[in-house]
Structure 1
């Protein structure tokens, strides 16, 4: 299904399974995804700010440039996510499993990755001012970048 430039503002999507859906440039501000399963879905440039995605399963999401500002992603299982250039300032990824995620050039200031699994994630060029990586597990396989603006587990 294709829902380009659609608005789902404040929509409750609990129990829904989305597979191979195109949601590019759509709006999900304050939407409740409570436990939804989303497989191979594109939401490039979509606005999911303040959305509740806690405990959802996201497999292979293509979400480049998506706005996840202040979204609740606690306990999310998000494997192979393409979040390059995403805006996720203040988002909460506490306890998330982010296997093989691509966060390059993402804006992650003040986001929380407390206790998150960061195996094979890519962070080169990401903005991480005030980002909390306390107890996050990267098993030495994450790519953090280098230099003054590098996103590191120490910030």
Structure 2
């Protein structure tokens, strides 16, 4: 089992963001966004390099194909944020409060998601490599068709996970505080679970292979 490589984000001295709306294909380098309200704005294809986003609102923000590189996002919140096919590389996402965020088809590499709660996270067909979910709550995350390699769940609550058609390699679920798989239990090959998790999953595994447990 190969462990995930965590990002080592070292931000340079940052300039405060001057305000204004996000721009499609915008280029944001070495900026600090503090309590900015980007609700409903269009930043599709934008690039954020060496940036810090702190307590920003991203409700219905369009960030399709955006790139977040060597950046830290702290305390962001939003419902329906569109990050489909985005790239997150060497990123820390801390204490986020998100609902219905779209990350389908996205690429996440050397990413830590620490703290906070994300409801209905859509990671269908995404590629996750060297990603750590730590001390967070994921409600009904959808990994359908996704590829996960060197992904760790540490003190993380996983509720109603969908692994349909997902591909797992060196995925460590042993540290999850709770593990509830709604669909795709047959895709757990390539993952490591603890003995207690195996017991918890026994009814689902039995149902998957058609075993009746009676008595």
**For this structure pair, what is the TM-score category when the shorter chain's length is used for normalisation?**
0.7 to 0.9
Superposed displacement of residue 43, structure 1: 1.1
Structure with larger Rg: 2
Superposed displacement of residue 19, structure 1: 0.4
Alignment equivalent of 2:110, drawn from 77, 95, 102 = 95
TM-score under structure 2 length normalisation = 0.64
Superposed displacement of residue 73, structure 1: 0.7
Aligned residues: 151
**Residues 28 and 47 of structure 2 are in contact (CA less than 8 Å); yes or no, is this contact kept in structure 1?**
yes
Find the aligned partners of 1:103 and 1:133 in 2 and give their Cα distance: 18
**1:43 paired to 2:58:** yes
**Residues 2 and 22 of structure 1 are in contact (CA less than 8 Å); yes or no, is this contact kept in structure 2?**
no
Structure 2 match to 1:20: 35
Superposed displacement of residue 69, structure 1: 0.4
**Residues 94 and 116 of structure 1 are in contact (CA less than 8 Å); yes or no, is this contact kept in structure 2?**
yes
C-alpha RMSD of matched pairs (Å): 2.3
**Residues 65 and 84 of structure 1 are in contact (CA less than 8 Å); yes or no, is this contact kept in structure 2?**
yes
TM-score under structure 1 length normalisation = 0.86
Alignment equivalent of 2:183, drawn from 127, 149, 153 = 149
Structure 1 match to 2:150: 135
Any unmatched runs of 5+ in structure 1? none
Which structure has more helix as a fraction of its residues?
Answer: 2
**Residues 22 and 38 of structure 2 are in contact (CA less than 8 Å); yes or no, is this contact kept in structure 1?**
no
